[in-house]
Structure 1
Amino acid sequence: MTFDGRRHVRKASPRASGDASGELGTAAQQPWIALLQGMLGSMLILAGSLGVGWIANGSPMIRNSLVIALRTDGSGVVVSTIALTLGAMILLRSWLRLGQRLSLWGPGSLKQVVLAVVLWGAPLFVAVPIFSRDVFAYTGQGRLMAEGMNPYTTGISALSNWFMLGTDPSWAENRTPYGPLFLWLSRGVVAITGAQPELSVLFFRLLACVGVALCVIFLPKLAELGGFNGARALWIAVANPLFLISFIASAHNDALMVGLAVCGVYLAATRKPFLAIVLVTASIAVKPITIVLLPFIGLLWAGTAAGWGRRFAGCGATGAISLFLLWLAGIPHNLGFGWTWALLDSIPGYTGYSPSGFVGQLVGSLANAVGLDGGIFENGFRTLLTVGSVGIAGWLVLFGDPQKVLRRLALAFAAVVMLAPIIQPWYILWFLPFLAATGIKNDWQIKVCYVVIGFFVVFGAQDQLFVWNFVDLPMATKALSSWVAIAVVGYLLLIDVHTRKLLFTKGLELAHALPLK
């Protein structure tokens, strides 16, 4: 029997149960080894970020003697690149090993996972932004608000000195895709920091950490409602390196969005519908994608025994209350419903590793091969997947086991994200907490989780490294980072006696699992 973290009545003897590496006894009782190794990985990421992380050109930090030495000398850039990449890979291995060492998920395991989040996240809190520099755009949007301009109609290029404060040029003319709550939070950060880059980053990290804390508190509780192990769910969704790097080091506002959504869904599942609607609406007002969750909040409000009339009434009332709250949030500064463009307007382009992007390219190539217009077929295929994702979500709202509304919510959210043309690495973190809370089995499901998280950690480590053009390097930093990551992945898959068993065994065969309590 494969173990998905669900509660079972019978206890397993140590010899009857195994973890992913077949280790028991001492190894399973020493999570501190993985905790310390992960902290080392985070410290290396911190050190590497000083040399290749994102620093605004107008920041005083750019004139620090250590930063100058690391960024203007080729050897400093090389060492920083290796440190950042190696740190990310050590953090990945530590996450895998922590799961192996806590494989029985007995009493005390939740405390160890929470400790991992704290120890591994602390160095990332003070790191230079890595994997993304969207956090600098948040400051720009706060400045727009402070100067009386509407971020839904005006790009950051309308600001003086906008480029020197670190914003990516792709934001220059773009409208913000964020909700009114986050715009007001951005305005508040700018009021406190005066748009000083480093202070602003730290304040946006504090907001992100509020979201992380909400996940740490409410995700285990959400999992236990369905009889699943809360510690294991938290380990899968929050302690993984992609979550910690993307939501703490990168300071993405997605962390606050996800934290509010998890808290809101938990409240809905525990029969507190009005407070749940407020929390999920706040999540939408940070980033509108969580509007997908509203119908399921209505179903939870209606109850498992509800008929069609009560279900539609619950969904309708949920939508009406949420819409009213969003209308109120848009009144100040005349923001209105400007955020709706992020849902209604399709952003051009695609990412090559998304199913829509990758398969779409194949469809286009096949069409070109037979003399047809490949571009038309590519766009048609991607549109079909996007429409299909909405159809899947709608089906999951209308049909399915009324006892499994949370699972249907998780699958609907996953469909909307995974079938979109553009998938950024941290997008999978939107729905992963809900999948983890409703059961990810220790078979192909957890293996897919390992592969996807590992891929995006490797991809992120080499995707956005800041290096000045005048620095003379023996090898491009992207290539160097890729080779370091590939070498570590090879070690984990082929040499490491512990981690190599994670993908190349039949799964985690547990005779029984320890109960939650």
Structure 2
Amino acid sequence: MTAPVPATGELAGDAAVPAEDAGMDSPRSPLLAGFAGSMFMLVGSLGVGWLAPVSELRRMPLFIWMRAEALGVALSIILLAVGGMLLVRAWLRLGQKVRVWGPAARRVTLAAVVAWGLPMMFSIPLFSRDVYAYIGQGRLMLEGFNPYENGISALSNYFQLGADKMWTEAPVPYGQLFLWIEQFVVWVTNVQPEASVMLFRLVALVGVVLCIVYVPRLAELHGVNPHRALWLTAANPLFLTNFIASVHNDALMIGLALAGLYYCATRRVVVGIVLVTLSIAVKPITIIFLPFIGLMWAGKEAGWLRKFWFWGLTAALSLGMLVLMALVNGFGFGWINGLSAPGSLAIWYAPVGLIGMVVGSLARAFGLGYDVFSGLVFTAGKVLALGIIAWQIFRGDHDRLMRRLTLALAAVVVLAPIIQAWYVVWLIPLFAVTGIRNDWQVKTLYFVVSFFMIYAISDQLEVFPYLQTEDLGFALALARVAAALTGLLFGLYLIFWDPRTRTLFRKTGEPVVERPVI
């Protein structure tokens, strides 16, 4: 653990700061702008947020007007797009208000999380309808089905639940803990969709709180400014929209994982392994953390024999917990088969996805199989990701263990044929606590946040069942183009024309010395 070092400047770097220096210009303007943006999204969600077909809200006059009338749908799209991009601007401007990243910056960041996140707690689910799949999976549990073997189509009237059709036959890719949470929520609410969404939001809020608590603690362990790390993570629009507005269980997953990493890094390894295992029992991707935890436990001077011993001990403790949970729920490890079930095959903005699509299209032009050749590219991406994970496990400085873990998880995300916005949110807190320098690194984050906000605004709109037109596909395309253009124009304004924010994407920041990371 390194000693605190002062940091100053508009977007100062990763050093700790004196507690007595307030170091902030008035944050009132960005706080209010972000709250307005979140409220716009709340109102817009009434028209284009995802509702279960069985929802009673569909019968309310306001919802009918905003969902069935062209004017209402157009207003909802504009409010959603402008609101989302206002949040991006407010987050950037909040960072610019900080002269010294001290306790005042922490207080303002927490105020922003509350002010910007509170309206999202009451919005109709945005950008994803996975929460309705959670409800269906909870019903499967209540009705005695094995969710690892049955999709929600095993339920009567399953289409009334509002889940994406990809879940009709797909087995559940989640761990045992989240299955119990799903079952409990559906049991308590008697499958009432709005009440279930609210309870799942409270579960996600637990993950958000865990991130708020443990991101600064992990950052301090790495000699990284905890207040800046908190701003980069918790006030981030991608973090708030994906974990609160979209109600993703990834919030609980990453919150438990960060808490576990903190306790492992502070030599309370058994507690840490328990928490990381609970994270795995929400969503198993964090199983990648276990080899790095074994290395932390083994210690800096450990030889290979000691490393293998602690790898085995870490695996035994975690696997033992997972086996015990599997025996209790009686469903075993069926989530292994479900890991690749949901989601599209590839997407154009994922590097491996784009290359696979191009190679597959070229193969088809020559009379060869699209799926065969695109599949080879996707498989190559997975093999490369596995190679990078292995390299990070077996090679590298012990003092950079957390960074190595972050790079291993980043390889899984970047080299997949599809990259979802919430996959990116897994990485933001890990990079933040190990140091995002105030140069090309933070600028890359600004661009990534802007891109995924614009993409989410245009990609996930529930409008096509309601517009009264002969060509519903055209209506949906028109709505998405309108949303995309609104978000894109706002994003271009932030990058090129806004006199306040354009410097963030262009100006070279103050040099920041890389801090040691563990």
- CA distance 1:301–1:50, change in 2 (3 Å): same
Deviation, structure 1 residue 47: 0.4
Moved more, 161-170 or 390-399: 161-170
- Partner residue of 1:212 out of 184, 208, 214: 208
Counterpart of 1:320 in structure 2: which amino acid? Answer: A
Give secondary structure in 2 for the equivalent of 1:503: helix
Moved more, 48-57 or 333-342: 333-342
Residue 489 of structure 2 is aligned to residue 487 of structure 1? yes
CA root-mean-square deviation? 2.3
User: Which residue of structure 2 aligns with residue 398 of structure 1?
Assistant: 394
- Partner residue of 2:137 out of 138, 141, 149: 141
User: Which residue of structure 1 aligns with residue 221 of structure 2?
Assistant: 225
Higher relative contact order (CA 8 A, sep 6+): 1
User: Which residue of structure 2 aligns with residue 319 of structure 1?
Assistant: 315
Deviation, structure 1 residue 378: 2.5
Q: Is the 8 A contact 2:129 2:164 kept in 1?
A: yes
- CA distance 1:157–1:502, change in 2 (3 Å): same
- CA distance 1:374–1:220, change in 2 (3 Å): same
Deviation, structure 1 residue 332: 2.6
Q: Is the 8 A contact 2:294 2:311 kept in 1?
A: yes
Moved more, 120-129 or 346-355: 346-355
Deviation, structure 1 residue 70: 1.2
Counterpart of 1:249 in structure 2: which amino acid? Answer: A
User: Which residue of structure 2 aligns with residue 282 of structure 1?
Assistant: 278
- CA distance 1:190–1:216, change in 2 (3 Å): same
Q: Is the 8 A contact 2:10 2:96 kept in 1?
A: no
Counterpart of 1:349 in structure 2: which amino acid? Answer: L
Give secondary structure in 1 for the equivalent of 2:418: coil
- CA distance 1:299–1:188, change in 2 (3 Å): same
Deviation, structure 1 residue 254: 0.6
Residue 99 of structure 2 is aligned to residue 98 of structure 1? no
Q: Is the 8 A contact 1:180 1:285 kept in 2?
A: yes
Deviation, structure 1 residue 374: 5.6
User: Which residue of structure 1 aligns with residue 509 of structure 2?
Assistant: 508
Q: Is the 8 A contact 1:18 1:510 kept in 2?
A: no
Tell me, in whole angstroms, the C-alpha distance in 2 between the residues paired with 1:348 and 1:245. Answer: 21
Deviation, structure 1 residue 210: 0.3
Counterpart of 1:508 in structure 2: which amino acid? Answer: G
Residue 356 of structure 2 is aligned to residue 355 of structure 1? no
Query: 1:41-190 maps to which residues of 2 (within 5 A)?
Result: 41-190=37-186
- Partner residue of 1:498 out of 477, 488, 500: 500
Query: 1:370-389 maps to which residues of 2 (within 5 A)?
Result: 375-389=371-385
Deviation, structure 1 residue 175: 0.5
Q: Is the 8 A contact 1:131 1:461 kept in 2?
A: yes
Deviation, structure 1 residue 270: 0.7
Residue 473 of structure 2 is aligned to residue 471 of structure 1? no
Tell me, in whole angstroms, the C-alpha distance in 2 between the residues paired with 1:198 and 1:170. Answer: 22
Deviation, structure 1 residue 30: 1.4
Query: 1:290-369 maps to which residues of 2 (within 5 A)?
Result: 290-343=286-339, 349-365=345-361
Tell me, in whole angstroms, the C-alpha distance in 1 between the residues paired with 2:129 and 2:288. Answer: 27
Query: 1:399-414 maps to which residues of 2 (within 5 A)?
Result: 399-414=395-410
- CA distance 1:343–1:308, change in 2 (3 Å): farther
Counterpart of 1:476 in structure 2: which amino acid? Answer: L
Deviation, structure 1 residue 333: 3.4
Tell me, in whole angstroms, the C-alpha distance in 2 between the residues paired with 1:10 and 1:147. Answer: 58
Tell me, in whole angstroms, the C-alpha distance in 2 between the residues paired with 1:98 and 1:490. Answer: 19
- CA distance 1:348–1:426, change in 2 (3 Å): closer
Tell me, in whole angstroms, the C-alpha distance in 2 between the residues paired with 1:388 and 1:466. Answer: 37
Deviation, structure 1 residue 301: 1.1
Note the residue ranges of structure 1 that are not aligned, 5 or more in a row.
1-5
Deviations 1:88-122 (A, max 9, x none): 00001111111111253123211211211111100
Note the residue ranges of structure 2 that are not aligned, 5 or more in a row.
13-20, 470-474
- CA distance 1:9–1:169, change in 2 (3 Å): closer
Give secondary structure in 2 for the equivalent of 1:337: coil
Alignment length (residue pairs): 499
Deviation, structure 1 residue 509: 1.4
Q: Is the 8 A contact 1:7 1:228 kept in 2?
A: no
User: Which residue of structure 1 aligns with residue 16 of structure 2?
Assistant: none
Give secondary structure in 2 for the equivalent of 1:476: helix
Tell me, in whole angstroms, the C-alpha distance in 2 between the residues paired with 1:462 and 1:436. Answer: 28
- CA distance 1:74–1:347, change in 2 (3 Å): closer
- CA distance 1:384–1:204, change in 2 (3 Å): same
User: Which residue of structure 1 aligns with residue 35 of structure 2?
Assistant: 39
Give secondary structure in 1 for the equivalent of 2:263: helix
Tell me, in whole angstroms, the C-alpha distance in 2 between the residues paired with 1:438 and 1:511. Answer: 13
User: Which residue of structure 2 aligns with residue 3 of structure 1?
Assistant: none
Tell me, in whole angstroms, the C-alpha distance in 1 between the residues paired with 2:425 and 2:346. Answer: 19
Deviations 1:414-440 (A, max 9, x none): 111111112211111112211110001
Deviation, structure 1 residue 361: 2.6
Q: Is the 8 A contact 2:68 2:466 kept in 1?
A: no
- CA distance 1:347–1:132, change in 2 (3 Å): closer
Tell me, in whole angstroms, the C-alpha distance in 1 between the residues paired with 2:421 and 2:102. Answer: 32
Report percent identity of matched pairs: 48
Give secondary structure in 1 for the equivalent of 2:103: coil
Query: 1:426-465 maps to which residues of 2 (within 5 A)?
Result: 426-465=422-461
Deviations 1:381-406 (A, max 9, x none): 22111011111111111110011111
With normalisation by structure 1, the TM-score equals 0.92
User: Which residue of structure 2 aligns with residue 234 of structure 1?
Assistant: 230
